[in-house]
């Protein structure tokens, strides 16, 4: 189909399923075990309903907001996804360019196919902000170099992935022999290509990473530190105590622990506790996983998220239609959000609040 025939983010997935190379589709679309968590990530949003307010002047709608001090055009960002060149010969730089056009933030993955410098150079042409996603190497000297280089090159946030001491079993991916399209594989990697893409490139990751390491990260960088992959309110409270600036409530797109809960459910569990303890100003809470619609984004913002990350849909758009595809996917989300804001009776993102939602069914599985 033509790009103009893609009317929502699901359409890109359908085209990708039919047209992408098997190995790339296997790596991007797969999730852990029976993929229950991956499906739950999106369907959890189906258990939240709106309570719109009427007769508000919604002539003008403003989707802009601020994430970690950066003004952005809408409350979503491109989250880190590894191996962009599996889907598109130019790799993640395609996402960089699309994000710059739309003034949204891109989180650069440790395991990008493009070099870190290439992605930063591309962003700086568009005056666009980037964050770094970090997989922590067993060799901390390597990690320190990566972090300090990112800060020197202008990255505005350090997202440490904490849900992947070992990469999950993604069987769709494991069944396919992996050929590395070029990635920033690090020292400490034993590249065994018989276990799929994910496992082949990730053996350098340190499973001994713990809360005791957080002060060290704070000592080597001034970038805000955000823990990506937090799954319970108790750990959000620990993150506040550890003095980090943020958390991403996420289960890694369902790719790690199957039967992990959805980010949106964890958000609904977390924010009331933070408010009750007067801590909601102490930490920025992001969420990702299964966000496919403008309404999904608004629900997360109503519950108190500072922004939402989107992974696979942008990969599918990139793989099928290149930069124009990613730009259209972003525009569709903005169009949906603008209309949804009108229909729930809100002009600005900061006016969204939990009272606009009915979440009674969210915790009923």
Q: Residue 109 interacts with ligand FNR (CB under 6 A)?
A: yes
Q: Which is nearer to ligand FNR, 309 or 325 (CB)?
A: 309
Q: Which of 197, 56, 195, 37 is nearest to 113 (CA)?
A: 197
CB of 264 to ligand FNR, least distance (A): 11
Site size for ligand FNR, by CB under 6 A? 25
Q: Which of 45, 77, 163, 284 is catalytic?
A: 163
Cα separations in angstroms, 206 against 180, 197, 202? 21, 18, 10
x/- site string to ligand FNR, residues 11 to 30, per CB under 6 A? ----------------xx--
Query: Using CA atoms, how far apart are residues 250 and 267, in angstroms rounded to an integer?
Result: 10
Q: Residue 290 interacts with ligand FNR (CB under 6 A)?
A: yes
Backbone angles phi, psi at 275, to 5 degrees: -65, -45
Yes or no: say if 230 and 249 are a contact pair by the CB < 8 Å rule: yes
Contacts of 310 (CB under 8 A, 6+ apart): 76, 77, 78, 79, 288, 291, 333
Taking contact as CB under 6 A, which single stretch among the options 46-54, 183-191, 215-223, 284-292 is the one that binds ligand FNR?
A: 284-292
* Residues in 168-207 at the binding interface with ligand FNR, rule: CB under 6 A: none
Concerning whether 135 is annotated as a catalytic residue, the answer is yes
Binding residue (CB under 6 A) for ligand FNR from 23, 133, 231, 320: 133
Q: Which is nearer to ligand FNR, 93 or 346 (CB)?
A: 93
Three-state secondary structure along 283-322?
Answer: CEEEEECCCCCHHHHHHHHHHCCCEEEECHHHHHHHHHHH
Binding residue (CB under 6 A) for ligand FNR from 6, 74, 93, 111: 111
Q: Which is nearer to ligand FNR, 109 or 307 (CB)?
A: 109
Neighbours of 177 (CB within 10 A): 12
Q: Residue 128 interacts with ligand FNR (CB under 6 A)?
A: no
Q: Residue 289 interacts with ligand FNR (CB under 6 A)?
A: yes
Query: Using CA atoms, how far apart are residues 248 and 307, in angstroms rounded to an integer?
Result: 9
Taking contact as CB under 6 A, which single stretch among the options 2-10, 53-61, 90-98, 286-294 is the one that binds ligand FNR?
A: 286-294
Binding residue (CB under 6 A) for ligand FNR from 250, 262, 270, 295: 250
Yes or no: say if 23 and 316 are a contact pair by the CB < 8 Å rule: no
Yes or no: say if 53 and 360 are a contact pair by the CB < 8 Å rule: no
Yes or no: say if 179 and 193 are a contact pair by the CB < 8 Å rule: yes
Contacts of 8 (CB under 8 A, 6+ apart): 292, 293, 332, 336
Binding residue (CB under 6 A) for ligand FNR from 168, 246, 311, 322: 311
Query: Using CA atoms, how far apart are residues 116 and 261, in angstroms rounded to an integer?
Result: 32
Q: Which is nearer to ligand FNR, 250 or 356 (CB)?
A: 250
* Residues in 204-233 at the binding interface with ligand FNR, rule: CB under 6 A: 228
Q: Residue 81 interacts with ligand FNR (CB under 6 A)?
A: yes
Contacts of 150 (CB under 8 A, 6+ apart): 108, 116, 132, 158, 223
Concerning whether 206 is annotated as a catalytic residue, the answer is no
Taking contact as CB under 6 A, which single stretch among the options 269-277, 278-286, 307-315, 317-325 is the one that binds ligand FNR?
A: 307-315
CB-count exposure of residue 166 (10 Å: 0-12, 13-18, 19+)? exposed
Q: With left for phi above 0 and alpha for psi between -120 and 50, is residue 69 left, alpha or beta?
A: left
CB of 57 to ligand FNR, least distance (A): 34
Q: Which of 45, 135, 316, 321 is catalytic?
A: 135
Concerning whether 241 is annotated as a catalytic residue, the answer is no
Taking contact as CB under 6 A, which single stretch among the options 56-64, 266-274, 303-311, 323-331 is the one that binds ligand FNR?
A: 303-311
Query: Using CA atoms, how far apart are residues 140 and 192, in angstroms rounded to an integer?
Result: 23
Q: Which residues are catalytic?
A: 135, 163, 252
Which chain residues interact with ligand FNR by CB under 6 A? 27-28, 41, 79-82, 109, 111, 133, 161, 228, 250, 252-253, 255, 288-291, 309-312, 315
């Amino acid at each position: 189909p033509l790009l103009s025939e893609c009317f929502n983010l699901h359409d890109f997935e359908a085209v990708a399923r039919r047209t992408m190379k098997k190995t790339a589709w296997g790596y991007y679309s797969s999730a852990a075990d029976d993929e229950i968590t991956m499906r739950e990530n999106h369907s959890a949003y189906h258990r939240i309903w709106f309570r719109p307010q009427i007769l508000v002047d919604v002539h003008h709608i403003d989707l802009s907001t601020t994430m970690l001090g950066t003004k952005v055009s809408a409350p979503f960002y491109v989250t880190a996804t590894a191996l962009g060149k599996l889907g598109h010969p130019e790799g993640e730089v395609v996402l960089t360019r699309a994000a710059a056009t739309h003034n949204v933030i891109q989180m650069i993955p440790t395991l990008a196919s493009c070099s870190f410098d290439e992605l930063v150079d591309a962003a700086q042409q568009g005056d666009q902000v980037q964050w770094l996603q970090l997989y922590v190497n067993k060799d901390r000297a390597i990690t320190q170099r990566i972090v300090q280089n990112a800060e020197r090159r202008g990255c505005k946030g350090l997202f440490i992935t904490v849900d992947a001491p070992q990469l999950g079993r993604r069987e769709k991916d494991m069944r396919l022999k992996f050929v590395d399209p070029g990635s920033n594989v690090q020292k400490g990697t034993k590249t065994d290509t018989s276990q799929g893409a994910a496992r082949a490139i990730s053996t350098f990751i340190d499973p001994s990473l713990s809360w005791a390491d957080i002060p060290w990260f704070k000592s080597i960088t001034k970038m805000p530190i955000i823990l990506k992959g937090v799954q319970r309110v108790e750990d959000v409270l620990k993150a506040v105590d550890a003095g980090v600036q943020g958390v991403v409530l996420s289960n890694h797109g369902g790719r790690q622990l199957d039967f992990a809960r959805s980010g949106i459910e964890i958000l609904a569990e977390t924010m009331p506790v933070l408010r009750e303890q007067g801590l909601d100003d102490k930490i920025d809470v992001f969420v990702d996983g299964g966000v496919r619609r403008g309404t999904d984004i608004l629900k997360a913002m109503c519950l108190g998220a500072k922004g939402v990350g989107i992974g696979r849909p942008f990969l599918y758009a990139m793989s099928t239609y290149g930069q124009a595809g990613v730009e259209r996917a972003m525009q569709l989300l903005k169009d949906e959000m603008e209309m949804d804001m009108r229909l729930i009776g809100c002009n600005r993102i900061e006016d969204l609040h939990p009272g606009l939602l009915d979440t009674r069914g969210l915790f009923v599985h």
